[in-house]
Structure 1
Amino acid sequence: MLREYREELDEDILADFRDIVDGVTDDDLENYTPFHWVLEFAEVYAGGGFDVVVGNPPWDMLTPDRDEYFTRYDESFSGLLPEAKQARQEKLLEQESISKGWKRYKHEIEIVTEYFHKSVDYRMQQPTIAGKQQGTENDLSALFLERVFQLSKAGGYTAQVLPGAIFNGVSTRDLRMELLDETTIQSLVTFENRGIFEEIDTRYNFGVIAFKNEGRTEELKATFQQTDVGVLENLEESALTISRRVLREYSPEARIFPYVQSQQEVDVLDSILAHEPIGDNSSDSWYCTPYRELDRTNDSDRFVEDESAGDYPVYGGSNIYQFQYDPSFVDIEEPEFWSVDEDSDPDKSAKRRIKEKKVRGLKRSLYDAYDGSGSQKGFVNDLLNEHRGEPLSPDDVLLDCTEYRIVIRNIARASDERTMIASVIPPGVVCHHAINTFSRFEVDPEDDDLSKSPLHSVYKPIFSDRELFYALGAVNSIPFDFLMRTKVDSNLVMYKIEESQVPRLTEGDDWFEHIWTRAAKLNCYGDAFAEMRDRLDISAATSPDERERIQAELDAGAFHAYGLDREQTEFVLEDFYQVQNPRRMTDEYFDLVLEKYDELAP
């Protein structure tokens, strides 16, 4: 009887393979022997699943492993050095049976890989983050964890030893969402492999998680980056209590778990994360959308190195600092590249290249705004021909560089004096990929706009002038920097900026005027900002002492705007990484910020 059921279930699974995997044959499936949990553990399944599941699933990727295959024919193969291993592989492949077996082995892996990619039983393996689908590359531990959710009964308990990527990898986002929203996590401890597993690289991280397979996680008892498994024996003494808000909102896009080190850090994050993501455009308020204008390599035909041969500079990351766009106050570099106006030579103009790139976005916005159907190009051109007698062209794009705008340095590390480095730069300047630009305009067309050429009136400002400098002050503030330092490696990832939280203040809100006026005084110096000073009716801060005081007042106001109390503010300032020979972030400066915080306290 069991044999008959097993054969029927085998055929059902093989039928799934045929439906899911393109071009699979019966010969391909001949050697597969599926394990049927429902049959082998019939009584368990009749009761709804396992009461307890304990496991340490494989940490490998489901890819062809030449060590695994060729060791069948040479036991010393896996221990050979790379060159010797390659030579031995080539020698073994001279044998026809081994060569055919190697091709068959790789083909079998491809079949199983495609099955896992497409099977409805494994729906948590390819999340979409920032509009792009991610993949686990068939990480066996991720596949096992998803199966565990199905094997455990409602209310059952599970404990697993898993690679660190499960808790902070982009591709495992949906697994973390399942843990947060569909289970009650009892505890999580992550480890750095300092002698714990001798055969695994010491740089490898892993974690031990225990959860109940029902409910949702409201708070988590956890500790991170431990080096001694003895911590498991007294977890209650060392575990931090992490709120659901911190777990969910620390990384709204990727849902990465923050590797916090103290309860004070958890509490500070909880206060910071109470605010809206800076990139949330669902309300009528301002928002920040970073993008890259030009690529230093791919667009190099639009750059010249001789200033006299150019009409305007092309900025890179080394050409800005916080609230600064030239070397007036700190030692930052002069522009390395320049470019020419469109009127001089459109084929060599960086601004023309930006228009050519951005016209696609304008086309999409018009298509969406007028409920387009069919071809985007055809629909938009027909719409414009009807209203103004000419199709869409790059000339219809209004460049952000026609206005003052915020830019941020792309290269950023937690060990830098400041991780977030932002400035408002003068109109007319363009930027290559070492700088990300915050969009200055959004496309919001009205019917009357469609008759105009160029279509610049469809662009509406995202910020008022005051909101622009408030946003600058917010992203350059110590509290925002504190948050971003926990998220960066060596570059600012755009979605990590957009998902990070700031107080989204505007005219009339507490701390709005305090922050924008100080950010503007710091940034609006020199002839290039004479117009903006008039628009804002402010004067620039130009003496070193005045600039230090004003920036300290801004940082102190930002702590208040975030709702951080004095103890939390003091913790952030004491915890802030300090470099040797800092430009600004000295002990004296931090003391000044705390002094200003106290002065501003209600």
Structure 2
Amino acid sequence: MQCIEYFQRLEAEGQGWELESRTREEIEEIESGKGSSSLYAKRTAILNNLYGVDIDEGAVEICKLRLWLSMVADIEDEPSEVEPLPNIDFNVRQGNSLIGQLDTDIESNEDGDSDLDSWEVKTRFEDVKEAIEKHKKAETSVEAQEWRREAEDRIEEHRDKFDKILRREFQDAGFDDITIEEIREWSPFHWPLEFADVFEKGGFDVFIGNPPWDMLYANRDDFFIRYDEQFRTYPSEEKDGVMEDLLTNPEVAWEWEDYKESMETQADFFTQGDVYKLQSPVVGGRTMPTKNELSALFLERVFRLSRDGVKVSLLLPGTIFGGVMGKDLRTHLLDHTDIENLIGFENKGIFEQIHRQYRFAILTFEYGGKTSRLRGIFNQRSMDVVYNIEDVAAEIPRQVLLNYSPEGRIFPSITSQVEADVLSKVVTQPPLDENIEGAWSVDMLTKEFVESTDKDRLQDSPDNADYPVYGGANIHQFEHDNTHTESLDNPRYWSQGMYDPPNSAQYRVREKKFNRGNLKRAIYDAFGGSETSKSQVQFVDKLLEEHRGHGLEEEDVLLDCTEYRIGIRDVSRSRDERTIIATVLPKDVICLHTINTFKPFAIEPEEEHLTESPLRSPYVRRFTDQELFVATGLLNSIAFDFLMRTKVETHIVKRELLESQLPRLTDGDDWFHYIAERAARLNCYGEEFKEMRERLGGIAAAVEDQERRELQAEIDAAAFHAYGLERRDVKFVLDDFHRVENPKLMGEMYFDLVLEKYDLLDQKGPLP
């Protein structure tokens, strides 16, 4: 509209000669036509540039009505003096845009011939385009209806060929007996046929969409509303009753079963077929099961419909950018599109019909090329940010997006440029699960002992018990009991030693470790078992029988609790002042599922070990004593907490923790001894750590509150240096750090102390 007004002004000022002939002709057409220039602009744009598709026929009609009303609003003259509004029945269409052929989907049949002859492919359905064009330009309703019917008939003539190709796709997905009639019940949408005039010119230039945020499943709300218009509004229990009453009708019951089967078939097509390739990512070596999130399917569909240079803007749920299922979609975005803006929102009053905790995002990108950096901001609570995104968004480099979550490819929820800059330094460190020669390595154990299934091995009293069974409420940073923190719970459970198998948690853990087969698998792999035809059990038992006279036994399994090890609280709550709660655990302690542990041993069998009974030499410590405490100190640091708080919501997820970056300090590195010694003094108090204190050269445990506070502040300050953060970075992290009411440690005085220690270390380096 602004262009039209500008050109009209040039014409009025006598400068129309500067315009191209085509532009002058259009200005003359506007001037000589009926209605305002605004109406002309809308009419032209709607008729020639706007297209849409929706599976809901009602939504299609509402869309067409709104487009018509937008034009009616611009009628300034008497309606009888205005040219008829355009016919847009073929601009907005009903159909299932997730099922159907795309322009590139014309494939060969079993004989190697295309189901569409070469002339049809070349001419792009000229007969269809001709009928649609005459429908759009019809000047009477009778003429419009005649050409509409003619166009629909011609589309139907071609549809059969596309449906046959689609049926082969279903057959390839395992539905051998499916019929074309069954497929047509899902309203497949064949893009090059329905929008023939657009695809003749190469396809769309822009995609704008708000795809459904639901999963594909048999939704009773969608079905039973056919029989009760108020069904969606009922409370859950009332829905149960209404549903039960409706299903007493045999016809309704049959249709309900047919609907569920239909939804299951569609879901299996998306899962098992070859059309959608970005819905089942491999994460941590495991293929994730497809959830059939409609928004994820729509995004992949847009990828397929786009060509280089196409602009896309979509409103999508937050799981696309933060959930593990979106990994391949995010990777495709980074490698095949140039992401322009990504604005993440928290639904704090934006959409009243959606839960306040729901997250969503506006994504805009240009298809083709790759993303070198994106402009993004997250956790927004107002749509106002859309109007000043260039002023408030952060420039996030590609390398940050790649390094932040190397396994899951999750995008960081950055809220400022300073945060992006700090994060870019933090993520240059190696992920915890990266194997580095000469450095300690991490393997994490979850659910060592599950209370719900093995409670018969637990007792409520320490009387006649041999060791406690710890849960997350029993530990804090550098603390393994309530000696220094009265708010820590005493152990809830205790258990017996290995001498009493039916009542021993340790014995049960050993049983599970034996059945899990880690030792067996290590021996099998180390001695070439995979090169034989024997099973793991056959190969390992025969090998051990040859060397020591008997096969593998439970006694060969060495429990993790026989060595000091790191435990991490599983739960992270908003009221917790730290996201990561880690400590070195005493020996013999068994952990409930609310504590994750770092395995203290790697299994590295050698031939000389095979004569042992029980096997012990294959178990090699992953950490030296000092490495154990430098790792604990870094895990508990504010710097690492800054990173993890961007990932963790309620629980510490193994994958998210292990792919997070931590300086892998070893003996000889700056800050190694400085952090290790202080963490050990904080952690090694009490009789349970007498052995460790001696192993570390007779260190003195820190027991006074002020001394412990000073030591932890020094660890936090040193960790900032280990991450390579400058003072302004440290100041930002401390100022931005999560505050809670009545903190145990993390008050303003503590933050000031950490900054003071940082400045001191910056001047003097890693002091003794």
TM range (shorter): over 0.9
Asked if the contact 2:467–2:588 (Cα under 8 Å) also holds between the matched residues in 1, the reply is yes
Aligned residue among 309, 315, 322 for 2:464: 309
Cα displacement (A) at 1:105: 1.2
Q: What displacement does 1:109 show?
A: 0.7
Alignment of 1:513-592 (within 5 A): 513-537=673-697, 538-592=699-753
What is the rounded CA distance, in whole Å, between the counterparts of 2:241 and 2:462 in structure 1? 54
Q: Give the distance between the partners of 2:408 and 2:750, measured in 1 at CA.
A: 35
Paired with 1:356 and 1:574, the residues of 2 have a C-alpha distance of 49
Per the alignment, do residues 282 and 4 of structure 1 end up closer, same or farther by CA in structure 2, a change over 3 Å counting? farther
**Contact 1:469/1:520 (<8 A) preserved:** yes
Partner of 1:408: 568
> In the alignment, which of 490, 502, 508 is matched to residue 668 of structure 2?
508
- Name the CA distance, whole Å, in 2 between partners of 1:506 and 1:302: 39
Spell out the pairing of 1:381-400 with structure 2 (5 A cutoff).
381-400=541-560
Does structure 2 retain, via aligned residues, the 8 Å contact 1:136–1:142?
no
Is 1:341 the counterpart of 2:497 in the alignment? yes
Preserved contact between residue 169 and residue 274 of structure 2 (Cα < 8 Å): no
Q: Which amino acid aligns with 1:488?
A: V
Change (3 A) 1:76 1:544: closer
Q: Residue type of the partner of 1:364?
A: R
Distance in 2 separating the partners of 1:182 and 1:266: 23
User: Could you list the per-position Cα deviations for residues 141-180 of structure 1 after superposition, in whole angstroms to 9, with x for gaps in the alignment?
Assistant: 1101001101001232211111222121222121111111
Note if 1:18 corresponds to 2:171: yes
In 2, Cα distance between the equivalents of 1:200 and 1:551? 43
Aligned to 1:595: 756
Partner secondary structure for residue 299 of structure 1: helix
Q: Which residue of 2 aligns with 1:491?
A: 651
The superposition leaves residues 525-560 of structure 1 with CA deviations (integer Å, 9 ceiling, x where unpaired) of 233222222222222222222222111111111110
Amino acid at match of 2:518: G
Q: 1:87 to 1:430 in 2, by over 3 A?
A: closer
Partner of 2:334: 180
Cross-structure match for 1:357: 512
In the alignment, structure 1 residue 443 sits paired with structure 2 residue 603? yes
Secondary structure, aligned partner of 1:532: helix
- Cα drift, residue 286 of structure 1: 0.8
2:637 alignment partner, one of 470, 477, 482: 477
Equivalent residues in 2 for 1:28-67 (5 A)? 28-29=182-183, 31-41=185-195, 45=199, 49-67=203-221
In structure 2, stretches of 5+ residues that fail to align are 1-119, 126-155, 764-768
1:421 aligns with 2:581: yes
Which of 508, 513, 526 matches 1:369?
A: 526
Identify the residue that residue 290 of structure 1 maps to in structure 2. 444
Q: Match for 1:327 among 482, 486, 496?
A: 482
Range with greater deviation from structure 2 (133-142 or 146-155) = 133-142
Using a 3 Å threshold, how does the CA distance of structure 1 residues 49 and 456 change in structure 2: closer, same or farther? farther
How far has the Cα of 1:199 moved from its partner?
Answer: 4.0
Deviations 1:433-452 (Å, cap 9, x if unpaired)? 12111100001111111121
The answer (yes or no) to whether the contact 2:393–2:416 under 8 Å persists in 1 is: no
Percent of aligned positions with the same letter in both sequences? 48
Q: Secondary structure at the match of 1:386?
A: helix
1:345-382 deviation line (CA, Å, top 9, x unaligned): 12222111111122222122222223323422222222
Q: How far, CA to CA, are the matches of 1:229 and 1:499 in structure 2?
A: 33
Q: Which residue of structure 2 aligns with residue 100 of structure 1? A: 254
SS at match of 1:153: coil
Report the TM-score, using the length of structure 2 for normalisation. Answer: 0.75
Structure 2: how far apart are the matches of 1:336 and 1:227? 42
Q: 1:167 aligns with which of 308, 321, 326?
A: 321
What secondary structure does 2:452 align onto? coil
- Tell me which of 267, 291, 300 is aligned to 2:455: 300
Distance 2:255 2:393 in 1: 50
Counterpart CA distance in 2 for 1:560 and 1:403 is 30
The counterpart of 2:538, out of the listed 378, 381, 389, is 378
Encode CA deviations 1:2-27: one digit per residue, 9 max, x unaligned.
Answer: 55543222112112212313464326
User: What amino acid sits opposite 1:484 in the alignment?
Assistant: M
The CA deviation string for residues 231-287 of structure 1, in whole angstroms up to 9 with x for no partner, is 222211111111223222222232222222222221221111110111223534212
Distance 2:643 2:253 in 1: 53
Q: Which moved more, 1:149-158 or 1:413-422?
A: 413-422
Distance in 2, matches of 1:165 and 1:520, equals: 40
The answer to whether the 8 A contact 1:410-1:492 is kept is yes
- 1:236 aligns with one of 384, 390, 395: 390
Structure 1 residue aligned with 2:19? none
Q: What is the CA deviation profile of residues 506-529 of structure 1, one whole-angstrom value per residue up to 9, with x for unaligned ones?
A: 011111111111111111223322
TM-align CA RMSD:
2.1
112-121 vs 224-233, which deviates more?
224-233
432, 435, 438: which is aligned to 1:281? 435
Which range is displaced more, 519-528 or 366-375? 366-375
Give a deviation string over 1:51-98, Cα, whole Å, max 9, x none.
222222222221112222222223233233333332222222222222
- Could you list the runs of 5+ residues in structure 1 that have no partner in the other structure? none
Cα distance in 2, alignment partners of residues 197 and 473 from structure 1: 43
8 Å Cα contact 1:21-1:111 kept in structure 2 = no
Q: Which amino acid aligns with 2:437?
A: S
Residues 312 and 365 of structure 2 are in contact (CA less than 8 Å); yes or no, is this contact kept in structure 1?
yes
- Equivalent position of 1:269 in the other structure: 423
- Distance in 2 (CA, whole Å) between partners of 1:100 and 1:586 is 64
Does the residue aligned with 1:53 lie in a helix, a strand or coil? strand
Q: How many residues align?
A: 601
Partner Cα separation in structure 1 for residue 720 and residue 441 of structure 2: 20
Q: Are residues 1:76 and 2:241 paired?
A: no
CA contact (8 A) 1:136 1:172 kept: no
1:314 and 1:431 in contact (8 A); partners too? yes
The answer to whether the 8 Å contact 2:681/2:701 transfers is yes
CA distance in 1, matches of 2:157, 2:472: 68
Question: What amino acid does structure 2 have at the position aligned with 1:428?
Answer: D
Distance 1:400 1:428 in 2: 8
Cα drift, residue 395 of structure 1: 0.8
Instruction: Give, in whole Å, the separation in 2 of the partners of 1:201 and 1:546.
Output: 46
Code of the aligned partner of 2:644: M
Q: Is the CA contact 2:717–2:757 (under 8 Å) kept in the aligned structure 1?
A: yes
**Partner of 1:276: helix, strand, or coil?**
coil
Cα pair 1:327 1:333 within 8 Å, conserved? yes
Tell me the amino acid that sits aligned with residue 513 of structure 1. H
Q: 1:308 is paired with a residue of what secondary structure?
A: coil
Residues 48 and 154 of structure 1 are in contact (CA less than 8 Å); yes or no, is this contact kept in structure 2?
no
Decide whether aligned partners of structure 1 residues 194 and 481 sit closer, same or farther in structure 2, where only a CA change above 3 A counts. closer
Higher RCO by CA contacts (8 Å cutoff, separation 6 or greater): 1
Q: Which range is displaced more, 226-235 or 471-480?
A: 226-235
TM-score scaled to structure 1, two decimals? 0.95
* 3-state secondary structure, aligned to 1:367: helix
Conserved in 1, the CA contact under 8 Å of 2:433 and 2:443?
yes
Q: Is the contact made by 2:469 and 2:494 (CA closer than 8 Å) also made in structure 1?
A: yes
Whichever residue aligns with residue 597 of structure 1, its letter is Y
